[in-house]
Amino acid sequence: MRCLRLLLRAMLMGIRKAVLRDLRDCISTQLLVIIGGVMMVVVVVRQMQGPMDVLIKEEIVQPKNMFATMTPQETEPQVVFKSGMGIYNTSRIPALIHHKDMFLAFCEARKDTSHDIGNIHIVLRRGKRKDWKVEWGEIQVVASKHGYRAMNPVPIVDKVLDVILLVYHLIPAWVSQWKLVRDGVYNQYIMVTRSFDNGETWTMAKDITASTLGQMRPPPALYAPGVAKSRKKSQK
Ligand SMILES: *[C@@H]1O[C@H](CO)[C@@H](O)[C@H](O)[C@H]1NC(C)=O
């Protein structure tokens, strides 16, 4: 009991010579070793808890300088999507991601008009990066449904699972945005499709409306998916 009291005093008042001497008298060396060990463990655990968060934050803030060793070259701007390409009237709402030396460029390809109405497909061009040049592939249709407009492509790179996800929504082709709002019901579907080969092929799109819009009360009349962020290996 005396030892405990002395130990408490040492902790509260700071370690003074007199207190230390008294402590040494009553506590065996073994006990001191045990107490020292426990304190060490506490310090190490606390150290591990703190700075880890800081490390992860720093990694997010600082972009990896992947081109650091290359000399910048002048390059001609390349048109990836233009209006009036193939069967389409207008290209709008682009989205670009990069994964494993491949750029994936998506956009809305509007078939019937230049406006937010009519049949709209979501198309993709894959661009292989070779130093400072990008070799763009053919236009491929990633999302379409007859009588609907597929809109607002939101590609997501999951670097952990090495999967590309594409979220978009489907609205009946000729229902105007104003009518969607006025009716106050969601006349649309939220869809997701995945690619396991960096955008070459895509899975059958899955309807996730019930688990997304369906959970919102009241449901939004007009909904559009927004900008996403890639998941890095260091993040949980
Ligand atoms: C594209 O649609 C607009 C109407 O939004 C129309 O005026 C224009 O002629 C169309 N262009 C082509 C190439 O079909």
Q: What is the DSSP letter of 213?
A: G
Residue ranges per structural domain of the chain: 1-62, 78-215
Round to whole Å and give the CA distance between 100 and 200. Answer: 13
Q: State whether the beta carbon of 112 lies less than 6 angstroms from ligand 1.
A: no
pLDDT the model gives residue 58: 47
- Nearest residue (by CA) to ligand 1, atom 7, is 113
Q: State whether the beta carbon of 117 lies less than 6 angstroms from ligand 1.
A: no
Q: State whether the beta carbon of 84 lies less than 6 angstroms from ligand 1.
A: yes
Q: State whether the beta carbon of 111 lies less than 6 angstroms from ligand 1.
A: no
Q: State whether the beta carbon of 115 lies less than 6 angstroms from ligand 1.
A: yes
In angstroms, what is the span from residue 113 Cα to ligand 1's centroid? Answer: 5
Mutation choice for ligand 1 from 92, 114, 117, 120, CB with most ligand atoms inside 8 A: 114
**pLDDT per residue as tens digits for the range 202-215:** 999 999 999 988 88
Query: Amino acid identity of 102?
Result: M
Mean pLDDT of all residues in 133-137: 92
Q: State whether the beta carbon of 89 lies less than 6 angstroms from ligand 1.
A: yes
Q: State whether the beta carbon of 114 lies less than 6 angstroms from ligand 1.
A: yes
Cross-strand pairs, 122? 108, 143
- Nearest residue (by CA) to ligand 1, atom 2, is 113
Q: How far is CA 84 from CA 12, 110, 111, 112, in A?
A: 79, 9, 9, 11
Structure tokens at 142: 């990633």
- Find out whether 164 and 104 touch, Cβ atoms under 8 Å: yes
- Find out whether 174 and 115 touch, Cβ atoms under 8 Å: no
Structure tokens at 107: 């956009």
Confidence of residue 184 (pLDDT cuts 50, 70, 90): low
Q: State whether the beta carbon of 129 lies less than 6 angstroms from ligand 1.
A: no
Side-chain half-sphere CA neighbours of 172 within 13 A: 8
Mean pLDDT of all residues in 65-78: 63
Say which CATH topology domain 78-215 has.
Answer: Neuraminidase (2.120.10)
Round to whole Å and give the CA distance between 122 and 143. Answer: 5
- Find out whether 164 and 178 touch, Cβ atoms under 8 Å: no
Mean pLDDT of all residues in 225-230: 65
Q: In 3D, which of 234, 151, 166 has the Cα closest to residue 199?
A: 166
Q: State whether the beta carbon of 83 lies less than 6 angstroms from ligand 1.
A: no
Round to whole Å and give the CA distance between 164 and 194. Answer: 6
Side-chain half-sphere CA neighbours of 8 within 13 A: 5
What mean pLDDT value characterizes the chain? Answer: 80
pTM of the model: 0.67
Q: How many residues does the chain have?
A: 236
Q: How far is CA 225 from CA 21, 34, 52, 191, in A?
A: 70, 58, 32, 10
**pLDDT per residue as tens digits for the range 1-59:** 565 676 667 666 666 666 666 656 655 667 767 877 888 877 777 766 655 454 444 44
Q: State whether the beta carbon of 176 lies less than 6 angstroms from ligand 1.
A: no
Atom of ligand 1 nearest to the CA of 114: 5
Which burial class, exposed, middle or buried, applies to 107 when counting CB atoms under 10 A from its CB (0-12, 13-18, 19+)?
buried
SS (H, E, C) 105-136: EEEEEECCCCCCCCCEEEEEEEEEEECCEEEE
- Nearest residue (by CA) to ligand 1, atom 12, is 89
